[in-house]
Amino acid sequence: MNNLLVILNIFIMLALLAGLFMMQKKHVSFSKRVFTALGLGIIFGFALQWVYGPTHEVTMTTADWFSIVGSGYVKFLQMIVMPLVFVSIVAAFTRLKLTSNIGKISSLIIGILLVTTAIAAAIGIFTTTSFNLESVQITKGEAELQRGEDLENNLSSLEAKTIPQQVVELLPANPFLDLTGARSTSTIGVVIFAAFVGIAYLGVKRKKAEEAALFSKIIDTLYAIVMRVVTLILRLTPYGVLAIMTKTVATSDIDAIVKLGKFVVASYVALAAMFIVHLVILTIIGVNPITYVKKVFPVLAFAFTSRTSAGALPLNVNTQTRQLGVPEGIANFAGSFGLTIGQNGCAGIYPAMLAVMIAPTVGIDPLTPSFIFTLIAIVAISSFGVAGVGGGATFAALLVLSSMNLPVALAGLLISVEPLIDMGRTALNVSGSMTAGVVTSKLTKELDTSVYNDQTISPETAEV
C-alpha cells in the first residue's frame, strides 16, 4: 500500500513539473515560473505533511525520490562553479576588465561584506532584545543536548587555529586540488589562482603579443561554452525549486517550529530588516532597489529553498553580469568572497542573536554598551576568520561565543528550527554578495546601468 502511495505522489510531482514546462513553452517569465514553483512546493509539501506526517515512511520515501530533481539540480550547479569562477576571472583580464584596479576591487568587496556584517550584527542584537529572547526559555530535549555536546567538540578543533592561520588557509597551495572543490575555501583559492594567471597574461601580452592573443582566444572560447552550460542549467531552476521546497516542507517538524515560533519570527524580522538595509545601500548609490528585487528574486528563491550559497553561485554570477550590469571579474570576486567572508545572515545576525540570548545565563547584561560594541567587533572579525574553517553559521557561532567567553553548548537549543532559519540566512548571504558586487561596480564606475535598468533581460534570454 505504501508503495502505491509513493507512486501516486511521484505522479503528482511529475504533473506539477509538466505544468511548469508548459509555462515555459508559453514563454511565461522566468521569475513568475520560479515564484509559481515556490508556491506549488509549499502547498504540495504541506499536503504531504497533513496526509502522512513528516516522519512517515511514505513521506520519507517520497522525499527521497523528489531528491532526484532537487538534489540533482543542486549538483549540476555545483558542477559548474569552479569552471565558471576560473574562466570568468581570467576572461576579465584578457578582455582588459581587470587590470591595475584589482586591489581596489578586492578591498571594496571585502570591506562592504565586513561592514554589512557588522550592521547585521547590530540588527541581530536589537531584534533579540526587542523580542526579549533568552536561551532559558527553550526546553532542553535529548536532541538539543546532543547538539550542544557536538558543538563543544567542534570548538576544541576550531581553537587549535589562530585567525592568521585561518587566513593563510585561503591561499591555494595546490590549485588543481582547489578546482575539485576539496577544501572548504577552494572557491577563494581558485579566485586567487585565476588572478595570478590573469596578471601573468598581461605580462606575456607586453612581450609576446602573438602567444597572448592565442591564449585570449582560447579563454574566450571556454568562456562562451561555460556560460552556455550555465544557461542550460539555469533553465532547470523552477523544477529544482519545486522539488526542494516540497521536500523541505513535507519533512519539517511543524510542532517544533510552533513551539519555537517566537525565535523563528524574530530571526526572520532581523533577516528582513537587513535585506532592507541592502536596498537602502543600493538607493544611496543611485540605483533602483525595486529593479534589484525583481531581478534577484530567482536567485534568492533558490538560495532559500536549497540552503546552499555555493550552489547558488552560478545563478548569483549570471544574474550580476547578465541582468545587473556588473562586470564578470567583479561579479566573480563578489560571489566567491561572499561564500566565506562577511556572510550577513550566517556570520552576522545568527551569532549576534545567540550571544545576546545566552549572555544572561552567565550573569552578563547584553545591553551594556561595552558588550554590544565588543560583540559587533568580534562578529565582523570572525566573519572573516570563518573562511579558514568553512563551517558557515555553526562555526561563526562557535567563534563568536568562545571569543565572548559564553557557553557554546547552548547554541544547540535551536536545532529543531535550524533548517527553517537557515533558509532565510542563506538567501540573505547571497543578497549580501550581490549587493557588494553592484556597489563595487558603481563606485568604480564600471556598472552598466543600461543593463541594470533593462526589464526585458532574463537568465534565459541573456546573450553570452
C-alpha distance from residue 63 to each of 49, 161, 249 (Å): 11, 39, 10
Whole-angstrom distance, CA of residue 100 vs CA of residue 89: 14
Residue 361 lies in a domain: yes
pLDDT at residue 96, as a whole number? 66
- Burial degree of 269 (CB within 10 A; 0-12, 13-18, 19+): middle
- Mean confidence (pLDDT) of the chain: 83
- 425 with 124: CB under 8 angstroms? no
Residue 386 lies in a domain: yes
Residue 461 lies in a domain: no
Sign of CA dihedral 358, 361, 364, 365: positive
Residue 220 lies in a domain: yes
pLDDT at residue 462, as a whole number? 46
Query: By residue range, what is the domain housing residue 322?
Result: 2-453
Residue 147 lies in a domain: yes
Q: What is the pTM of this model?
A: 0.81
pLDDT at residue 463, as a whole number? 41
Number of structural domains in the chain = 1
- 89 with 333: CB under 8 angstroms? yes
Degrees (nearest 5) of the Cα angle 439, 444, 450? 70
- Grid coordinates of 380: 565582523
Whole-angstrom distance, CA of residue 433 vs CA of residue 438: 9
Tell the residue number behind the cell numbers 508548459, with chain if given.
22
Assign residue 48 the CATH number of its domain. 1.10.3860.10
Residue 438 lies in a domain: yes
pLDDT at residue 464, as a whole number? 36
Residue 464 lies in a domain: no
Residues in the chain, pLDDT under 70:
96-100, 136-163, 165-166, 184, 256, 259, 385-392, 409-416, 457-464
Q: What is the pLDDT of residues 39-56, one digit of tens each?
A: 999 899 989 988 888 888
Residue 460 lies in a domain: no
Whole-angstrom distance, CA of residue 296 vs CA of residue 302: 10
- Grid coordinates of 250: 513535507
- 250 with 45: CB under 8 angstroms? yes
pLDDT at residue 390, as a whole number? 42
pLDDT at residue 282, as a whole number? 96
